[in-house]
Structure 1
Amino acid sequence: MDAHAVEDIRRSVDVVAGHWGGLKILVNCVGMQREQALLEVTEKAFDEVIEVNLKSAMFLAQAAARHQIAGDQDGAQVHLLSVRAQLGLHGRGYSTYCASKGALTMLIRQHASELAPHGITVNGIAPTVVRTEMARHWLENPETHAQVLARIPLARVAEPRDVAGAAVFFTSPAASFITGQVLYIDGGITGSQ
């Protein structure tokens, strides 16, 4: 799926729903970053980050909701954000990334309100640095790796299983009365900053 193209997003969701005979759960983990200091942000980079991190979330959620509502059963939508939805990052060019993730928080809350009458919950997961390809450049550099660990009270980065566990929870019956919320999987960053 090309997250830059709404028609491709819709087509992809339709294909998945058609293959499985419906759609009950959406876990949106599409995201990107273009690090540029405020005085260097280009319109092209700004537009692409907003397009991938926010616009694609809007239209993934819409496409999934159409199938979930048509299936006439409870469902769940979960969006991956970042601690940067709530916290800026000192010394780094994160204006666009932080803005896109902060806006995604409000999208989650609004979608939770609109989809609640259909029994569909909408929540978010906001991790700190996760040991993934996107974070590799930070973790392979001893200086930035040390800076990352210094900010995290638990003194480690998140593992993919930490995030996956939250997604399983939000899509399980145990979370059926939770909607419009963001769970910070951050080793204590938001509690201490």
Structure 2
Amino acid sequence: MKDIFKLDGKIAIVTGGAGGIGEALALGLGIHGAAVVVSSRNQEAIEKVAQKITRESGNNAIAIAADVTDEASMQNLVDEVLKKYGKIDILVNAMGMNIKRDAFEYPMEDWDKIFNVNVKGTMIACKTVGRVMKNQGKGAIVNLSSVRGIRGYTGGNTGYCATKGAVELITKALALEWAPSGIRVNALGPALVITPGTRHIADNPELAKKYASAVPMGRIGLPEDMVGAVIYLASDAAGFVSGQTIYVDGGLTAA
């Protein structure tokens, strides 16, 4: 049997590739053989990630800035990738944001901001790259959901939970609609992961203990914990898997 987890010869786009999870996923795709296009709005940040991937994986990675909330920007990204590689095999949407606000007072401008990135951005990226995959007759998309897409949480997370619930259903609906075109659409559902945005939790022993105690495996997730699931979903190993979310959560959603 061939190595069904290999991504040799595959072209992968990672949106949100400068973030903590996105960088780890982009690096993992490169190490497993894919040529990676790292994208976010911050050109300087994605250049550093692309250089790291090239250095550590031996596979060439490039950086192309794009805004997932802008259709013209995403189309430009797709056009540039096609010009260089002629195809797109994998799309990983690793972008995301959270704005925590008390639900009684949640400002609608903040509600719109978080939905703009997490929901609208996911859909724009999926449909823009999805059209290319339809023409090719195949492709694999992995969206970034969360355990909060199926489990509510306190602490001002109503907006975040709502957006991740939307990502869950976008994933399922696209998987159904695009299956005849050979496009698989799945999602990654992390629990809390230590990234630059959550580093304050890891650096506070009391907070870290609180969050870790809620996880059956007794620790908080790391970006590298997310890589295996995405490699699987992007590879031929998951050739008959679509519309699913893999929760990489230390057992949290088992309860």
* TM bin (shorter chain): over 0.9
Match of 2:192 in 1: 129
Structure in which a larger fraction of residues adopt helix: 1
Pick one of 148, 153, 167 that aligns with 1:104: 167
Match of 2:244 in 1: 181
C-alpha deviations, 1:156-183, integer Å up to 9, x for none? 1222222111110001111010100111
Percent identity between the two aligned chains: 35
Letter paired with 1:174:
A
Q: CA deviation at 1:138?
A: 2.3
Unaligned stretches of 5+ in structure 1?
Answer: none
| 8 Å CA contact retained: 1:9, 1:56 | no
How far apart, in 1, do the equivalents of 2:81 and 2:115 lie? 25
Counterpart secondary structure, 1:79: strand
Match of 2:119 in 1: 54
| 8 Å CA contact retained: 2:69, 2:124 | no
TM-score between the two structures when normalised by the length of structure 1: 0.93
Match of 1:82 in 2: 146
C-alpha deviations, 1:26-77, integer Å up to 9, x for none? 01001000111102211111001000000000010001111111223x2100
User: How is 1:1-193 mapped onto 2 (pairs within 5 angstroms)?
Assistant: 1-72=66-137, 74-90=138-154, 92-192=155-255
| 8 Å CA contact retained: 1:128, 1:185 | yes
Number of aligned residue pairs: give it. Answer: 190
Letter paired with 1:175:
A
Of 117-126 and 16-25, more deviation after overlay is shown by 16-25
Of 130-139 and 35-44, more deviation after overlay is shown by 130-139
| 8 Å CA contact retained: 1:110, 1:180 | yes
Higher RCO structure, 1 or 2 (CA under 8 Å, sep 6+): 1
| 8 Å CA contact retained: 2:190, 2:249 | yes
Q: CA deviation at 1:13?
A: 2.5
Unaligned stretches of 5+ in structure 2?
Answer: 1-65
Q: CA deviation at 1:147?
A: 1.6
Runs of 4+ residues over 4 Å off in structure 1: none
How far apart, in 2, do the equivalents of 1:27 and 1:154 lie? 27
Letter paired with 2:212:
L
TM-score between the two structures when normalised by the length of structure 2: 0.72
How far apart, in 2, do the equivalents of 1:45 and 1:30 lie? 17
Letter paired with 1:116:
A
How far apart, in 2, do the equivalents of 1:138 and 1:103 lie? 27
Letter paired with 2:191:
T
How far apart, in 2, do the equivalents of 1:95 and 1:80 lie? 17
| 8 Å CA contact retained: 1:76, 1:122 | yes
Letter paired with 1:75:
G
Letter paired with 2:140:
A
1:3–1:113 distance in 2 versus 1, CA, 3 Å: same
